[in-house]
Copies of this chain bind each other. A is one copy, B any other.
Amino acid sequence: MNLTFGQYELIYNAFSFGTATFFAATIFFWLGLTQVSQKYKTALVITGLVTFIAGYHYLRIFNSFGAAYTEMDGFVTATGATFNVAYRYVDWLLTVPLLLIELILVMGLSRAETVRKSTTLGIAAALMIILGYPGEVSSGIDSTRFIWGALSMIPFLYIVYNLFVGLSDSINKQPEDVRGLVSAARWVVILSWFFYPIVYFAPFVMSVDGGGTFTVIEVGYTIADVVAKAVFGVMIFTIAVRKSQSQAA
């Protein structure tokens, strides 16, 4: 697959941007641990874990991309080394269940409900990632990509439905000054998550060459990851801080 110099630069810088963002976000969340009460510390630790794991994988993705393509005098050449798509999936397998758990934890539900929702949504999230993987690594824009992607949409829609309907009651029980934020965080999850299947299925409707498709997928996933993990994490942090302050008062 050939990349133009512009495509190469865009992907390269998107990966570096992701790495910097995720590690910086991790430190932000963990240094914020002293600002929240005991009850929300686990939520914040997990928020940082999500961005830490993402930072690690973006560093690996950056290096894998650097090994797969070299640039000289403005021309980009594929070296023959394979760009490892699996890093993203290993990342998601770890981070997506954790992401859901951090949202559930910050809502401060009962212990039983926290365990129940974390388990069902966590398993559904893992299933969603596992089913998407065979489609992503299949060599072309073909029925393999389509079928596995479609299967992956089943747990995806189950999660989105549960976040939307299943958490509606809980949101009304939140303290007034965070209700808007919790609702916004739920929307950020849902909207940023819809970005992933759009990117996944984009090659079927786009009429661009391999390099263009690759660029859209890699840059698209990077934007979705930054929103779903770092921006979402800042919202979780803000909710945790406000809830801790209102309890202390």
Candidates B17, B42, B84; contact of A35 at CB < 8 Å: B42
| 4 additional contacts (CB under 8 A) given A27-B49, A35-B38, A71-B82 | A28-B46, A32-B45, A72-B79, A74-B82
What's the Cα separation between A35 and B45 when bound, in Å?
11
Which residue on B lies nearest to A6, using beta carbons? B137
What's the Cα separation between A33 and B45 when bound, in Å?
11
Nearest CB on B from A133, distance (A)? 10
Convert A213-245 into 0s and 1s, putting 1 for each residue whose CB lies closer than 8 angstroms to a CB of B: 000000000000000000000000000000000
User: What copy number does this chain have within its complex?
Assistant: 2
Q: Cβ of A156 < 8 Å from any Cβ of B?
A: no
Q: Cβ of A167 < 8 Å from any Cβ of B?
A: no
B80 touches A20 (CB 8 A): no
- Interface of A with B (CB < 8 Å)? 5, 9, 12-13, 16-17, 19-21, 23-24, 27-28, 30-35, 38, 41-42, 45-46, 48-49, 52-53, 56-57, 60, 71-74, 79-82, 84, 86-87, 90-91, 93-94
Contacts of A20 in B (CB 8 A): 53, 56-57, 90-91, 94
